[in-house]
Structure formats: structure tokens, C-alpha cells
Amino acid sequence: MDIIPIIFGFLGLFAAYLLYLAVEKYPAGEKKLTDISDEIHLGAMAFMKKEYSILFVFSLILIFGIYIGLGLSSTVAFIVGALSSSITGFIGMYTATKANVRTATAAQNSGVSDSLSVAFFGGSIMGLTVAAMGLLGLGILYILYGSDPDTASTIHGFGMGASTVALFSRVGGGIFTKSADVGADLVGKVEQNIPEDDPRNPGVIADNVGDNVGDVAGMGSDIFESYCGAIIATIAIASTMIKDDLIELGTRETLMFLPLSLASLGLFCSIVGILIIKLLASRKGSDETNIANSLRGGTFAAAISFIVLAYIVIAQIGVSPNAWYAVLSGTIGGIIIGLITEYYTGGAPVRKIAEQGQTGSATLITTGLSIGLQSVVIPILTLVIIIFLSNHFAGLYGVGIAAVGMLATVGITMAIDAYGPIADNAGGIAEMGALGEETRKITDSLDEVGNTTAAIGKGFAIGAAALAALAIITAFVQEVNHNREVPVQLLLTDTNVLIGLFIGGMIPFLVSSLTITAVGDAAYDMINEIRRQFKEIPGLMEGTSKPDNQKCVEIATEAALKKMVVPGSIAVFSPVIVGLIFGPEMLGGLLGGGLVSCILLALTMSNAGGAWDNAKKYVEKGNHGGKGSETHKAAVVGDTVGDPLKDTSGPSMNILINVMAIVSLVIAPLL
Amino acid sequence: MDIIPIIFGFLGLFAAYLLYLAVEKYPAGEKKLTDISDEIHLGAMAFMKKEYSILFVFSLILIFGIYIGLGLSSTVAFIVGALSSSITGFIGMYTATKANVRTATAAQNSGVSDSLSVAFFGGSIMGLTVAAMGLLGLGILYILYGSDPDTASTIHGFGMGASTVALFSRVGGGIFTKSADVGADLVGKVEQNIPEDDPRNPGVIADNVGDNVGDVAGMGSDIFESYCGAIIATIAIASTMIKDDLIELGTRETLMFLPLSLASLGLFCSIVGILIIKLLASRKGSDETNIANSLRGGTFAAAISFIVLAYIVIAQIGVSPNAWYAVLSGTIGGIIIGLITEYYTGGAPVRKIAEQGQTGSATLITTGLSIGLQSVVIPILTLVIIIFLSNHFAGLYGVGIAAVGMLATVGITMAIDAYGPIADNAGGIAEMGALGEETRKITDSLDEVGNTTAAIGKGFAIGAAALAALAIITAFVQEVNHNREVPVQLLLTDTNVLIGLFIGGMIPFLVSSLTITAVGDAAYDMINEIRRQFKEIPGLMEGTSKPDNQKCVEIATEAALKKMVVPGSIAVFSPVIVGLIFGPEMLGGLLGGGLVSCILLALTMSNAGGAWDNAKKYVEKGNHGGKGSETHKAAVVGDTVGDPLKDTSGPSMNILINVMAIVSLVIAPLL
């Protein structure tokens, strides 16, 4: 039995490898395209190499601390977790930078269907790798330590390793991508008046590198750590549950193994879903609605087959059907949160924002802010209902298994999410390689659908992170009270808990502020470099000489990595400091305040940013005067304000709370 | 003994009356000025009349509910509380609209010293009335019900009455003032290219009315309810404390009476402070630094004399000096939070925002947002330290008495705060009455100082509201457990508490969104009306005919009052619904989540808004190109975005949490 997750893990990796071969099979295209693609590829790899070397040093400090505090096995688990996350990010980015140029070439040579296949396969490799690496890593550790309740806590280290890597990837990648984006746009489009993705612009390659390091690798490690966090937390809850709660649900052993079974099942259903999308897409043909429907169809098929099969598995292994209800609430809740995000970043609110742009950028921004703030309501109510139902049916274990239910089909949700930046990149390459109007139109329509799916993916990531964090926090409290005579109680009326609540609520505001500032500062460096090149390189504007693209990549890399250390350290060390100095009560309060604050800020910032972005696109389609109008100028301001919110600070919030929670869980035995 | 607060209450009202006579003594000025002033006065009174009639209907519903649920005495207390708050707001606004024209005239006839006196006396009337009405109302109810622990809970109704009125005044006033401001500016300054406060602009009177209903009456009732809330909560905590905790501090009787004693003392010290400011201002003369130093000197003198006298009083009545340490932490903490607010809305961050305006409005807005988010850190840490110290020295009672300590000298803090809008109005009247460069210069310098003091006042109001709300929440928990066999425990690990925490955290985001949208919608109506008048009234631009000012006042009034009902109802009814249907645990969680979320949003929005406002003023002084430059245009956008945040949504947060807390306290016996 215990070997199943490992088998499925290998199966997933094998499927990813087959997809990679399928992508490779497509021609990369003319030399001018592969040159561009190689530059993006090299830039991305250079960034990752530097990022990982900083992470290596940071990890050494943590490894030292973990080894001193918790011994060898936790240290090994941490290293495995960090490596798994790093490898996942690396594979995802490696293949994404291969898929983007092939998508552009396929769009030129064979039309929308092939081009969609390449882009989607590229995304699927990332999706399957996330799920497979999680199953493999956790599956192996589970056999070594996890299945025995006494040593199960060892695998928490895996989660901490994965989360630490995720945090830095997300924050660093987020700063990189937005500083490059803002810098390239501001100098290129506004000052030099050349189109987006123009090859003369020295910042364009960096911008495309940013899409990969931010939206592919960053998003991948974000989802990876939520996925692993949910599984680990559920195992932890099951391993420390008191006997009375157990009896109603099943044996401790089966309950501990259930999250891994469900994750294996989810990986299988994801592969099925990917095949269905391939079938739907190739049959139905070309237009945007069909592409969107294919993607949607595959996702729903994966979710529904997962729900059905989960029922059978749960019944077969002798766990109460109540656990299935909890899984169901998580899976459905995840879809609802995703759809609400789609509404706020693509529906009526976007048109309202664009309309307000007619009276200038101030009203446009105010409306966007107000919509961002409002967009928290339904997701929070959905989360609250998931918590209520899952707890009602299966107690604290229910919250954990609901999170697993939400994240089990991560293979396909992540695939659809990673497809977006690949399509976006393909568009950039098509523009830079001057592939012509027709090709650009295809990549644009792929990109457009990708934006919607990415919005859903973002909402889903926030919901999943919230539930995963809650499960980890629950596990933390149980772990703290495990083997303790007088249990620690997190009473809101206890001053320590209350103080923790305030501090925890405050940290996400501080981290958001730091990451927003970081984007601004890094963009400033980029702007200066791009301006310098336009001024100093003779013949650049005329197209007779080439820009020094890699210099821009270097500057963005330097800036991003320098700026990610402080917010990352706050996330990792604040629970350690609060927990070890002020005790578990204050740490518990900190996690509670941090959870609420992170989720609210993440939703507000991501949705406001997404809505501004799409309001700009809506205007660019010819509404309210179209491109070049005053309304468009106002919309561009809104988009620029939203950029760091939706791609840097907002997404960092997901990981921030998960890192704080998992670090707390790891240090729980020391409190 | 029990009569002391009433005596001090009358003393305070008498002092306010003397100041009123002093203001009245100054000549109102030429007819063209008194005409303008009369229009503002009438507009403000018309708004208040309508607002109070809506409040009357809303209160009837609440009165009915309270009578059914809690009986006659609580109902009476509610009515007294609502009336006290209404009368306070009325008096403050009545005198403010008398003082503004006299400030303008004094500036013209006798220079800065007299003009400062009138404006400051006008503000002091409001400040003293807040403190005096609070002492009078609570003093009388204390004698009737409060001094007996068994009936003490009756006076909670007073707090609910005061808070309900405060909520609607703050929200309604906030929507009014910003919609008028934005409307008048957008059509007048931007479209018609006429200066600010130009009498031809039909929206200018409404804008000036807005300063009074928003910044004077709204702020007054805001502070009034925090002040009363802190006193009521401390009495409640003392009345339900268990015997063991009592012994260390003092007798139940003295501890219940201590908040009223300290408030009486604070009122006395405020009067002393006001006299000191008058002396300092008339001796030192004219420039801005001197005005600022006078105001600061008086405030510090009041705070220091209060701290010293409080020590003596506490020792005299036989309460442990530990209670004094708690008071001290509150008083000092309030000052720190105020000064931090001053830094963020007037110091280096403002210059940084202005600098970022050189690259356009997007970077200016991003920087402002980031500074707003960052500005929460030190105030939250200060609050946390206050909570820690006051609890360390005097347990839960300590938190209450610390809040009283922070708010005791409210007479003078409120005086300085209300001085700002009077000076601002005086400037408007001087402009409309064409009193010339010299006079305008004096009113400008008064206004400038007023902006700084208002910023400090806002920070102070947030800190005070946080501590008052915390005290009320503490009282709520004690009240719920009073006479309960199995105490209610607010465990963060309890699903109900957790769900409450999420919902409580979400409500402030929803209310912010509603109020921001309300300002936008109301401003839209105003813009249309002002445009219509410019188009349809012949000779308006040439100055040969007069605008229909009162029509604009009416429109802003209608819009503001219509839009305040939904957010107001959410605040009042959400605790009732959650508490009665889902129980005290979820309500407790809701208050915890609401407290953290309200304070964080209040600080972020107020400080970002204040910083943008002052960045604009900084540019207008000639920095980065000065008025008319591209940087200035960017700064104007920032200011417009910040307006609803700092004057509508942000300040609503203070009251939101206090209303939710006091409503919970009132319904506690029913849970």
C-alpha cells in the first residue's frame, strides 16, 4: 500500500516526460526565433542559478538550526523538501522556455490547434511535475518516517524546505518580473514610443524571462508548497488525534495514509483531464470560446472523476464516508473561489473600472481599490462554509482532508495556469521575430484565454493556501499539545494570544509594503539601464545594432535577489522568535492573525490588480475610445499600479502564511 | 463622591460656554462674509436635521429591540447616549460655523494672534463639550444604575446610543464631505479652470459644509464614542471581575468609579492646557512654528499634569499604583501613535511620494500605498506594548484603564483637532469674500498647522478606538460569562471562533468598499449638478449671477444619507445576527478579527491618504516643478485617490469596531 504514492509519482514524472518529448517533437523554428528563445532561456537559467545559490546559503543557516534543534532526520527531510521544490521549479521553467518558441512556430506553421497543444503540454509538464515530485518526496519520507506516528513529525521538515524555496522563488520571481515589465514598458512604450515586445528594447528579453521566473517557476513552487503542506498537515493531524475522535472516522493508519492516496488519485485524474483537453481542443478547432471550453471541460472532468473515485477509495479502505463529504466541500469550494475570481477580474467589475476611466485615472483607481476590497466577501464566506462543513463531518481532520481535496487535482489546475505565461511568451517571441499579423492573432487569442485561466488559478491558489495553512496551524496546535500535561489553549482573551493576533495581522502589511517598494526600486534601476542603452548604443533605434539584453536580465536579477532577503527572513524567523521567546500562545495568535490578514490582502491585491489589467485590455479593444485615448491612459496608470499588487505582493501572501505555519509546526516540539 | 463627574461635566460645559462668548465677541465681519458664513451654517444645519431624522427612525427600531430584549432601563440609557452624542455634534458644528467667519475677519483686521485664538477657541468648544457631555451623561447614569454591580450593565446602552449616532455621523459626514470636495474640485479647478474656493463654483459652499459635518461633527462623535466606550468598558470590567483579581488592585467600588474620576481629572487638565495654549500663542506671536509649538506645548502640559495628578488621585482613593502604570502606558502610547502618524503624513515619506510623482501618477500611487501599508508597524507594536504593560500591571482591568488614560485629556486633543477644519473654512471664506493676499496668507498658515495637528488627531483617534474596542470586547467576554456555569471560551482552535475571526476580518473590507463606492457615486451626482449649473445659469462664469449653492448641498446630503444606511446596518446588525444565531463563540471571534482588520485598514487608509494629500501640498510649494507641472498633476491624482480613504473609509473603521463591540456588550445578557 505505502508504495502507491511513489508509483504514482513515477507515473506522473513519466507522463511529464512523454509530454516533454511531444513538445520537443515540434520544430523550434527559424534561427531568429531560436536566438530569441535561447536568450530568454539563458536569462531564466542565469536567474535561477543565482537565486538557488542565495537560497543555498540561506538554507545552510536553517539546516544548521534544524539540526541543532530537531536532529538529523528532520534535517534530511528539509533538504529533500528544498531539493524537490527546486527541481520542480527548474523542470517547469526549463520546459516552459522550450515550449514558448515552439508555440510561436506552431502558430505560424500549423495554426491554432497545434499551437494550443504545445503551449498546453508545456504547462502540463509543470503541473504534473508539481504533483509527481510532491508524491515522490512525501511518499519516500512517509515510508521512512511518516507511517509511524512517533516519527511522523519528521516529515514536517519536508514542508519547511519546500516552503522556504517557494517563498524565495515567489518573492524573487515576482520582483524580477514586475520590475522588468514596468521598466521595459515605461521606457519603450511611453518614452521611445515603440511597440510592446519590440526587439530594439533592451528590457524586452528581461520581461519575457520574468514571465517564466515569476509566473511559471514562482507559481509552481507556490502551489507545490500548498499541496505538500496540506498533505503533511493532514498526516500530522491524524498522527496526533486523540483516540475518541479516531473511532468515528477510521483507524489512525488509514487516516494518515488517506491524503497520500487521494493525492495519487488526483494525479491520475489530472492526467485523464489533460488527455480530455487535448481531445477536445483538437476536435473543436480554433476560436477563443472553444479553447476556453476545452480547458474548462478538462478541469471539470478531472474534478468530477476525482470526486467519484475518491468516494470509492474512501469506502474501500474503510474510512467513514464523512471524510468524503469533507473532501467534496474542499473540491467544490476551490472551484467556487476560482470562478468568483474570474468574475471580479473579467466580468462586470472590469467594465465598471474601464467606464470610470472616462473621468480620469483617479476614479479608475478608486473604483479598482473598492472592487478589490469587495472581492474578499464571497471567497471568505466560501472558506468559512468549507471550514464549517469539513469540521462538522470530520472534525479537525476534516479541515486537512478538505484542503487535500481542493489540491488533489493540482496537476491540471497548475497545467492550465502555467499554460498562460507560455502563450504570453510565445506572443512576445512572435512579435520580436516579426512573424506577422496572422501568427500574432493566434498567440493573442491563446494569451487572452490564458489570462482568464490564470485569474482562476490565482483565486484557487489563495483558497488552497488558506485551507492548507489552516490545516498546518491545526496540526501545529495538536503537535504543541502532544505529550504536554497541561494543554496550551489559544484563548483570544489571553493577552499573549491577542498580542500575537495583532503582530500576525501586521506582518502581511509589512511584507506587502516591502515587496511593493522592492518592485519600485528594481524598476528604477531597470529604467536607468534601458535609458542608458538607448542613449549610448549607436544605431539601436534604427535597428542596425543590438541591445545588451543580458545586462538588463542581470540588473533585474541582482535587484530581485537582493530585495527578497528581508521579506523572506521576516516570514521564516518571526515565528521562531515569537515562539521561542514568547511561547506557543503568542505564536498561535500570530498564526491566526496572519492567516486572516494574508488571505484578505492576497484577495484584495490580486483581484484589484487583475481587474485593472483587464480593464486596460478592455479599453484597448476599442471601448471608451480605445488605444491612445484619455481613458486608455488612465487605464494604463491603473494597470501599472496593479502590477506589483497582483504579481508580487498578492501572491507572496499565500506563501507567507504557509511558511509561517510550517515553520511553527516544525519548531513545535521545541516550544 | 459620585457627584464629582457631574460637577466636572457642568464645569466643562460652563468653560465651553465662556469660550463661546469669547468667540461671539469677535466681529463676524462684512455682510458679504456673513452671507457666505450663513450659507455654510444653514447648509450644515440642514444636513444635520435630515441626518438626525433618519437616525431617529433607525434608532426607533433599535429602541424597540432593546426594550424587548433588555427592558426599560437599558432603553433609557440608549436614548440618553444617542441624545448626548447628537447634542455634542450639534453644539460643535453650531459653534464651528460661527467661529470660521470670525477667524477670517480676525485675520483681516487684527492679524495672526487673534485669528488663531478664535479658531482654537472654536475647536476647544467642541473638545470640552465632548468631554463634558460624556461625563454628564455617564455621571448621571452611574448614580442611577452604574454604581451597583448588579445593574451596572444598564449603562452599556449609553455606549450603544452614542456609537450608533457616531457611526452614522462619521459615515454620512465622510461621504458628504468627500463627494462635495471631489465634485467641486473636478468641475471647478479642472474643467472650468477657476481657483479653489471660487464663489462662482456652485459646489464650494457644499465643500465647506462638508468640512464641518465631516471633520467637526463626525470627528467629534467618533472621539465621543471612544471616550464613553472606554469608560463604560472599564466600569463593566470592574463590576464583573472575580474577587481574586480585585484584591490586588482595590475595592470593586473604587475601581468602578476610577474611570470617571480620571475622566474628570482629564477634563480639568484639558482646560488648563487650553489656557496655556492661549497664553503661549498670544505671547509668542505669529509664525507657523510658533503656532505649532503653542498647540504642542498645551497638549503636553495637559498630558503631563494629568499623569501627575492621576498618580495622586489613585494613591488617595486607595487603588494600587499598578493601575497608574496602566494609565501611564495608555497616555504615552497615545502620544507615540500620534507622532508616528505625523511622521508618515508629514515627514520623509511625503517627500518620497512627491519625488516618485516625477515618473507619473502610477509610481506616486504605488509609493503611497506602500507607505500606508508600512505605517501600521509601529502603531501596532505600540498598541501591543500598551496591552502587554497594562495587562501586566493590572490584568484585564489594566487594558480598560489604559484606554481611559489615553482618552482622558480628550478635551484638548479634540480641541486641536477641530481647530483644523475651522481654520480651513476660514481660508475658504477669505477666498470667497476676496479678502486679499495678506489675509489668505494668515489663514493658510493656520490651516497648514491644522493639517499636521489633524494628522496627529487621526492617529490618536485610531489608537484610542483600538484600545477602547479591546476594553469593550474584554467586558463583553466577562459579561457573557457572568452568571454562566460553564464559561464561554474563545479558543482559536474552536471552529466557531475561527469562522467568526474570518467574518470579522472580512466586514471592514466590505464596509470600506461600500463607503469608497458611495463617495464615488455621490461625487458623480455632484459633478453633474455643478456642470448643469455652469451650463444653464447665464452669467455664472462672469460673476453677474449667483450659483444655486443650496441645491448642491441638498444633493450631497441626499446621497450621503442614502449611502450610509447599508454600511451602518452591517455594523449594527452583524454582531446581533452572528451572536443570536451562532452563539457567543462566533461573535467573540468576529470581534477579534474585526478589531485587527479595522485597525490595520484604518491606519493604512488614513496614512496613505494623508501622505498623498501632503505630497500634493509639498509639490504646490514649488518642489519638483510646483503647481501646474506634470509632477503636480500626478500628485493631484494621488490626492483624489486618497481623499475617500483618509476622510471616509479610514475613519469609519474606528467606529465600526467600536459599534460592533458595544452592540455585542449590550446583547451579551441575551446570549
- Between residues 639 and 658 of chain A, which touch chain B (CB distance below 8 Å)? 640-641, 644-645
- For residue B283, the model assigns a pLDDT of 63
Which among B381, B388, B597 is the nearest to A596, CB-wise? B597
CA distance A47 to A338: 31
Which amino acid is located at A372 in the chain?
Answer: G
Element (H, E) at B273: helix B252-284
CA distance A78 to A165: 10
Task: Please indicate whether, in this complex, the C-beta atoms of A474 and B489 are within 8 angstroms of each other.
Answer: no
Q: Alpha helix (H) ranges present in B285-320? A: 288-316
- Which tops the pLDDT comparison, B190 or B426? B426
Q: Is the Cβ of A348 closer than 8 Å to some Cβ of chain B?
A: no
- For residue A566, the model assigns a pLDDT of 92
Which among A361, A388, A489 is the nearest to B499, CB-wise? A388
A493: chain B residues, CB-CB within 8 Å: 396, 474, 477, 490
Centre a 10 Å sphere on the Cβ of residue B25 and count the other Cβ atoms it contains. 10
* Residue B481 contacts residue A481 (beta carbons within 8 Å): no
- For residue A285, the model assigns a pLDDT of 55
Residue of A nearest to B500 (CA): A384
* Cα angle A291-A296-A301, degrees, rounded to a multiple of 5: 130
Give the residue from A337, A370, A489 with the most B CB atoms within 10 Å of its CB, the best one to mutate: A370
Which among B391, B493, B636 is the nearest to A490, CB-wise? B493
Q: Is the Cβ of A510 closer than 8 Å to some Cβ of chain B?
A: yes
Each residue's pLDDT tens digit, A513-522? 999 999 888 8
Q: Is the Cβ of A384 closer than 8 Å to some Cβ of chain B?
A: yes
* Residue A663 contacts residue A575 (beta carbons within 8 Å): yes
* Cα angle A624-A628-A630, degrees, rounded to a multiple of 5: 55
What nine digits make up the cell of A1?
Answer: 500500500
* Residue A541 contacts residue A534 (beta carbons within 8 Å): yes
Task: Please indicate whether, in this complex, the C-beta atoms of A492 and B497 are within 8 angstroms of each other.
Answer: yes
Task: Please indicate whether, in this complex, the C-beta atoms of B637 and A360 are within 8 angstroms of each other.
Answer: yes
Task: Please indicate whether, in this complex, the C-beta atoms of B509 and A362 are within 8 angstroms of each other.
Answer: no
Give the residue from B344, B389, B493 with the most A CB atoms within 10 Å of its CB, the best one to mutate: B493
Which among A360, A493, A516 is the nearest to B370, CB-wise? A516
Highest mean pLDDT range out of A282-296, B448-462, B650-664?
B650-664
Nearest-10 crossing angle of helices A219-240, A650-667: 30
Least Cα separation, residue B128 to chain A (angstroms): 33
- Which tops the pLDDT comparison, B81 or A284? B81
φ and ψ at residue A485, rounded to 5 degrees:
-70, -60
pLDDT band at B586 (very low <50, low <70, confident <90, very high): very high
Which among A493, A506, A596 is the nearest to B501, CB-wise? A596
- Outline where DSSP puts E strands in A131-231: none
Q: Is the Cβ of A453 closer than 8 Å to some Cβ of chain B?
A: no
Q: Is the Cβ of B467 closer than 8 Å to some Cβ of chain A?
A: no
B503: chain A residues, CB-CB within 8 Å: 380-381, 384
Within its chain, how far is the Cα of B510 from the centroid? 21
* Residue B629 contacts residue B358 (beta carbons within 8 Å): no
Residue with cell 527559424: A30
φ and ψ at residue B110, rounded to 5 degrees:
-125, 5
* Residue B475 contacts residue B236 (beta carbons within 8 Å): yes
CA distance A524 to A531: 11
Each residue's pLDDT tens digit, B593-648? 999 999 999 999 999 999 999 999 899 888 999 888 889 989 989 998 999 999 89
- For residue A365, the model assigns a pLDDT of 94
Residues of chain A with pLDDT under 70: 283-286
* Percent of chain B's residues with pLDDT above 90: 45
Residue of A nearest to B369 (CA): A513
CA distance A334 to A327: 11
What nine digits make up the cell of A317?
Answer: 479502505
CA distance B8 to B139: 10
- For residue A121, the model assigns a pLDDT of 92
Return the closest-CA partner of residue B226 out of B666, B667, B657: B657
Mean of pLDDT over chain B: 89
Return the closest-CA partner of residue A589 out of A664, A533, A537: A664
Q: Is the Cβ of A483 closer than 8 Å to some Cβ of chain B?
A: no
Task: Please indicate whether, in this complex, the C-beta atoms of A387 and B493 are within 8 angstroms of each other.
Answer: no
Each residue's pLDDT tens digit, A235-275? 988 988 877 777 778 888 889 999 999 999 999 999 999 99
Q: Is the Cβ of A492 closer than 8 Å to some Cβ of chain B?
A: yes
- Between residues 328 and 347 of chain B, which touch chain A (CB distance below 8 Å)? none
Centre a 10 Å sphere on the Cβ of residue A199 and count the other Cβ atoms it contains. 20
CA distance A548 to A533: 8
A388: chain B residues, CB-CB within 8 Å: 495, 499
Q: Alpha helix (H) ranges present in A433-494? A: 437-481
CA distance A59 to B398: 43
For chain A, the residue count is 671
Q: Is the Cβ of B593 closer than 8 Å to some Cβ of chain A?
A: yes
Return the closest-CA partner of residue A152 out of A51, A253, A6, A270: A253
Q: What is the mean pLDDT of residues B414-439?
A: 87
How far lies B545's CA from each of B32, B37, B184, B428, B526, in Å? 15, 19, 18, 20, 20
Which amino acid is located at A363 in the chain?
Answer: T
B187: chain A residues, CB-CB within 8 Å: none
Which among B365, B600, B640 is the nearest to A597, CB-wise? B600
pLDDT band at B286 (very low <50, low <70, confident <90, very high): low
Give the residue from A495, A514, A578, A605 with the most B CB atoms within 10 Å of its CB, the best one to mutate: A495
* Residue B108 contacts residue B29 (beta carbons within 8 Å): yes
Task: Please indicate whether, in this complex, the C-beta atoms of A509 and B593 are within 8 angstroms of each other.
Answer: no
Q: Is the Cβ of A528 closer than 8 Å to some Cβ of chain B?
A: no
The 3-state secondary structure of A416-444 reads HHHHHHHHHHHHHHHHHCCCCHHHHHHHH
Question: How many CB pairs below 8 A link A and B?
Answer: 189
Q: Is the Cβ of A360 closer than 8 Å to some Cβ of chain B?
A: yes
- Between residues 530 and 589 of chain B, which touch chain A (CB distance below 8 Å)? 588-589
CA distance A635 to A351: 11
Which among A356, A384, A588 is the nearest to B499, CB-wise? A384
